[in-house]
Amino acid sequence: MAFVITAPCETEKAGECVTVCPVDCIEEGKDQFYIDPDICIDCGACVSVCPVDAIVEEYDLTPAQEVYLEKAEKYFGN
């Protein structure tokens, strides 16, 4: 299980999540930030600092949000 960054990040890209991540699994892509699902340790530090509530647990994704998990996996080559 990992966290996934969803649609609100596309317009915000604040970046607080990057600075608090203890394992450096968050990277800035062209349109949003992405969490590497293979490195994420599910600590939730990023969730509490996201100003737009864009970060969701993988298993809490709605069907419409599944595309963001796919985008992250594609970004990291998984």
- 3-state per-residue secondary structure call for the chain: CCEEECCHHHHHCCCHHHHHCCCCCEEECCCCEEECCCCCCCCCHHHHHCCCCCEEEHHHCCHHHHHHHHHHHHHCCC
pLDDT score for 78: 66
The whole domain housing 27 covers 3-75
Q: What is the count of structural domains for the chain?
A: 1
pLDDT in single tens digits along all 78 residues of the chain: 689 999 999 988 899 999 999 999 999 999 999 999 899 999 999 999 999 999 999 999 999 999 999 999 999 986
pLDDT score for 49: 97
State pTM to two decimals: 0.93
pLDDT score for 11: 85
Residue 21 belongs to domain with CATH number = 3.30.70.20
Can you tell me the distance from the alpha carbon of 49 to that of 76, in angstroms, rounded to the nearest whole number?
23
